[in-house]
Structure 1
Amino acid sequence: MNYSIIIYILGWIMNVEAVCMLVPGITALIYREKSGIAFLITILACLAIGVPLVSRKPSKKAFYAREGLVTTALSWIVLSIVGAVPFVLSGAIPDPIDAFFEIVSGFTTTGSSILSDPTQMPYCINIWRCFSHWIGGMGVLVFILTLLPLAGGYHMNLMKAESPGPSVGKLLPKVQSTAKILYKIYIALTVALIILLVLGGMPLYDSLCAAFGTAGTGGFGIKPDSMGSYSLYIQIVITIFMILFGVNFNVYFLLLTRKFSQALKSEEVRCYFFVIIASALMITFNVRHLFDNVWEALQQAFFQVGSIITTTGYATTDFNQWPAVSRTILVLLTFCGACAGSTGGGIKISRLLLLAKSVRKELHLYLHPNAVKKIKMDGKAVSHEVMRATNIYMIVYLMIMAASIFIISFDEFDLVTNFTAVVTTLNNVGPGLSLIGPTGNFGIFSPLSKLVLSFDMLAGRLELFPILILFLRETWKKF
């Protein structure tokens, strides 16, 4: 284990987070809020620790898969602990466990909150909550990759550990160049969304918070009704951009480089849009009697479907009151998730496609035992390693989900609340059903349950294994 390079990167994490806290710090100055002092203290503390750590260059820059997994997990834990400090120091969220839960929900782009009324929070606190979505959406380590020189091809070990999806590839020969392209696309889409929201009459502060949450597919609202009180235009714009941020960013790169045939070839993206359209139409038919006309039902259905499948978690209505069929569809979409290589969470469309193809292959082998049939995605054969990793992921996913539901059941809430609380945090979605629906919050859970759900959010965002590997004794041995 190369401890020196891990400490070096953690130092970078502290420094980058200090810079990011300038956003709420400046907000506090604009609105003349005393809570800004909490951010100033945290910034100084981060720099006091981070600067000495990065000034001492590691003797070895070799960075293998083990270091990549450990560094990613520790980086997100450090990021969350430090990010929670201003909540506690300012008194906005005085309980450390509540503060940790809230910021983990922010960085992992989950959007589950312990707050009943966000309007009671200072402006600087709310924008930090929303900005944490934007930071975590693309990944803080992906950003650091654009700055940090590592030897050889070791960047990929960091990128694979943090990026969502069953496989990560390079858009260009250099991983640093790939990271820069991804962030340029991310920033461009975010800026476009902010402009459209402002043009639609949304206040600049609200536009920034909404854009950060939409881009990171996070979903922290700054109003008790999330997006319900905004205009139809605002809701439609956010619907479109939620769905766009759920698309694999590789597709945008292919479109920008005019490789249209390759972009359109993506089975995952085609399936993603098919699931959205089919789900929205089924829900529209099921809830049409609850609205004034079918067009309003269609708009509400598309917003909720787009919000849940991309794991954004915004809401424009209390879908907890919808018929059972519609609620069931939304719960299934919670598992489904967005595309690999997007800012969305969940199991991912690509994994579900691979699992479906695997089942089809097994059924074919029952009929033709001697047949040789390869699983293909986008016309290319899928390696055995990818299929094995997908199968193991699903096994571990189900084990974590079952264990988490069991632990939080000691809080004595109903099964729907417990089940959807775990599902929505493990898949980084946000709202659940029953007591934690769009009008509820996670403040009802005990400290132990909040820690379990915080673990689920981190595990879900990091694709399970980077967090789990921290608990293996062999991980910390020097070889």
Structure 2
Amino acid sequence: MMNKSKINSVLLIHFVSIVMVFESIFMLIAVILSYYYRETVAHKMLLAFGITAVSGILLNVLTHKTRHQEPNIRESFIIVSLGWIVMGLVGTIPYLLTGSIPTFTNAFFESFSGFTTTGSSILADIEALPKSVLFWRAETHWIGGMGIIVLVIAIMPFLKIHGIYLFYSEASSLDNDRISTRITKVARNLWFIYLGLTAVEVIMLVFGGMPLFDSVCHAFATVATGGFSTKNDSIAGYSPYIQYVIILFMLLSGTNFAVHFLMIKGRIRDAFRNEEFKVYLIIIFIITAALSLILFYQHPEYKFEHSMRNAFFQVVSIITATGFATADYLQWPEQAIGLIVLLMLIGASAGSTGGGVKVIRHVIAYKRLKQTFLEILYPNRVTIIRYNKQSIKDEFLRQIMTYIFVYYIFLFIGTIIMMFWTRDLPTSFGAVATSMAGIGPGFGTVGPVSNFLHLPGGAKYFLTFLMLIGRLEIYAVLVIFSRTFWRD
């Protein structure tokens, strides 16, 4: 039963203030860069930092009496959703003050797309932006990739708050593998892996000739599976080496972080025995092989390596919901586009920074479907569904099947709603699918070489809502809209 104690609004504001203070710290880095590059917008970036930091600190001081209180379940759901909304709102300040994105609707869309690691953009000329703004844009990915709520939990002991409900509201992992017995250790382990992947990718990109600034921005976007690039043509203009490096880190970032932890501990066999990880790799390599052959036969003038690299890059980019591009997949044959749609619906691994329905849910749904057919054929046979050699409870099965059903209902209804704005089915489906899965590019007029600028304001706000729904795995947001939730 959900705890029905009264919601403490002061406590909610206190947690929001913590989020704002952390956001201002990351914003300060962009300010320093702005002065380093002697940009004309440096003082405006400083003002953006000042507004965020002062507001956050002031709210924190005014609500300091609640800092030792533990949020209940209802408050945790509200804090998580409210935290993301506040991050998106505060994230607009650098865009608006510098004039990089002059209208609030577009600035909010870009900011929210960044923090939810969706990667959909309204910008036509990315390279025209000041470096400090580009860096802030990349930072929104990196902050959102793991979730600033998890960052807060990592330092909770210093604030004398445990925050266990916050972690369960934010974390998307369905895996029963336990990274650690203590929630704070879990958060610290996750951030250790997150920081490690980011640092190693930066080094490898710099080694490949990419400038340090671009390397950091692309590493932020890759590890967060976000997809914001510093270039108008995304990754297409970079060398094959750099493209392969980004493929590797997209693949790793779409992997359950529990698997990473097993590898760090030297338990390589256990890592590769993880069912979701095995299926995740099998899907990637089978569809890559199919796309490689399709592209090679379409363009025999290209070497097979070129076709394979384009296929491999887009497969990993889409399934992990990163959204980087090396080619316009809308120009590919219909069979290839069909495989891209399939990847959008599959999603990455649970417990990763990737989006979508997640591989584990599809694995278990397949096992449940197989069980149903066996029960029809053999009524007296008792079948047990196992995942990683552990039996799955019926309640857990119902939750997974319900989630998949609700996800596709949202996808269907969302597409119909978008049709009122776009009057175009491919664009509507692509915009909704990419927003819910956090991918970035879609189909129609929002494909990999297009952007979302032309969409009406109402459509943009609707898509940002879908980004939140997808980022928080539907239920964490929907529960807030139920009558039962608000009854004391």
TM-score, length-scaled by structure 2: 0.94
2:427 aligns to what?
417
Q: Show the 5 A alignment for 1:267-278.
A: 267-278=275-286
| 2: CA distance, partners of 1:372 / 1:70 | 42
Are residues 25 and 388 of structure 1, via their aligned partners in 2, closer, same or farther at CA, if it must alter by over 3 Å?
Answer: same
Letter in 1 for 2:214: D
1:104 to 2:112 alignment: yes
1:456 aligns to what?
466
What's the offset of the Cα at 1:117? Answer: 1.5
Q: Show the 5 A alignment for 1:3-402.
A: 3-55=9-61, 56-58=64-66, 61-149=69-157, 155-166=163-174, 170-288=178-296, 289-290=298-299, 292-402=302-412
Letter in 1 for 2:12: I
| 2: CA distance, partners of 1:96 / 1:53 | 24
What's the offset of the Cα at 1:398? Answer: 2.1
1:426 aligns to what?
436
| 1: CA distance, partners of 2:157 / 2:467 | 30
Letter in 2 for 1:452: F
What's the offset of the Cα at 1:339? Answer: 0.5
Is the 8 Å Cα contact of residues 153 and 175 (structure 1) preserved in structure 2?
no
What's the offset of the Cα at 1:52? Answer: 3.4
Alignment deviations for residues 44-79 of structure 1 (CA, whole Å, 9 cap, x no partner):
222223223334131762333322211110000001
- For residue 157 of structure 2, give the secondary structure of its aligned residue in structure 1: coil
Letter in 2 for 1:264: F
Q: Identity of paired residues, percent?
A: 37
Following TM superposition, the consecutive aligned residue runs of length 4 or more in structure 1 with deviations greater than 4 angstroms are 150-154, 167-170
Ranked by relative contact order (alpha carbons within 8 Å, sequence separation 6 or more), the top structure is 1
What's the offset of the Cα at 1:153? Answer: 9.6
What is the RMSD of the two structures over their aligned residues, measured on CA atoms?
1.8
| 1: CA distance, partners of 2:415 / 2:369 | 28
- The range that moved more, 286-295 or 436-445, is 286-295
2:4 aligns to what?
none
- The range that moved more, 459-468 or 302-311, is 459-468
What's the offset of the Cα at 1:393? Answer: 1.4
| 1: CA distance, partners of 2:156 / 2:42 | 30
| 1: CA distance, partners of 2:66 / 2:19 | 16
Letter in 1 for 2:235: M
1:403 aligns to what?
413
Q: Which runs of 5+ in 1 are unaligned?
A: none
- For residue 181 of structure 2, give the secondary structure of its aligned residue in structure 1: coil
Is the 8 Å Cα contact of residues 64 and 154 (structure 1) preserved in structure 2?
no
Is the 8 Å Cα contact of residues 70 and 469 (structure 1) preserved in structure 2?
no
Are residues 64 and 170 of structure 1, via their aligned partners in 2, closer, same or farther at CA, if it must alter by over 3 Å?
Answer: farther
Is the 8 Å Cα contact of residues 422 and 456 (structure 1) preserved in structure 2?
yes
Q: Which runs of 5+ in 2 are unaligned?
A: 1-6
> Number of residue pairs matched?
478
| 2: CA distance, partners of 1:123 / 1:258 | 40
Are residues 183 and 59 of structure 1, via their aligned partners in 2, closer, same or farther at CA, if it must alter by over 3 Å?
Answer: closer
Are residues 303 and 59 of structure 1, via their aligned partners in 2, closer, same or farther at CA, if it must alter by over 3 Å?
Answer: closer
- For residue 57 of structure 1, give the secondary structure of its aligned residue in structure 2: helix
1:470 aligns to what?
480
What's the offset of the Cα at 1:2? Answer: 3.7
- For residue 327 of structure 2, give the secondary structure of its aligned residue in structure 1: coil
What's the offset of the Cα at 1:167? Answer: 5.1
| 2: CA distance, partners of 1:150 / 1:7 | 19
Letter in 1 for 2:115: F
Are residues 464 and 154 of structure 1, via their aligned partners in 2, closer, same or farther at CA, if it must alter by over 3 Å?
Answer: farther
| 1: CA distance, partners of 2:143 / 2:92 | 14
What's the offset of the Cα at 1:3? Answer: 3.2
Are residues 59 and 23 of structure 1, via their aligned partners in 2, closer, same or farther at CA, if it must alter by over 3 Å?
Answer: closer
Is the 8 Å Cα contact of residues 165 and 463 (structure 1) preserved in structure 2?
no
- The range that moved more, 47-56 or 120-129, is 47-56
| 2: CA distance, partners of 1:40 / 1:395 | 46
Letter in 1 for 2:85: I
- The range that moved more, 352-361 or 390-399, is 390-399
Alignment deviations for residues 408-442 of structure 1 (CA, whole Å, 9 cap, x no partner):
21224421111111101110001112211111111
TM-score, length-scaled by structure 1: 0.96
| 1: CA distance, partners of 2:319 / 2:13 | 36
- The range that moved more, 198-207 or 38-47, is 38-47
Letter in 2 for 1:38: K
Alignment deviations for residues 162-208 of structure 1 (CA, whole Å, 9 cap, x no partner):
12243576422211011001101110110000000001110111111
Is the 8 Å Cα contact of residues 126 and 222 (structure 1) preserved in structure 2?
yes
What's the offset of the Cα at 1:91? Answer: 1.0
Is the 8 Å Cα contact of residues 61 and 150 (structure 1) preserved in structure 2?
no
| 2: CA distance, partners of 1:349 / 1:48 | 42
What's the offset of the Cα at 1:152? Answer: 10
- The range that moved more, 364-373 or 34-43, is 34-43
Letter in 1 for 2:34: A
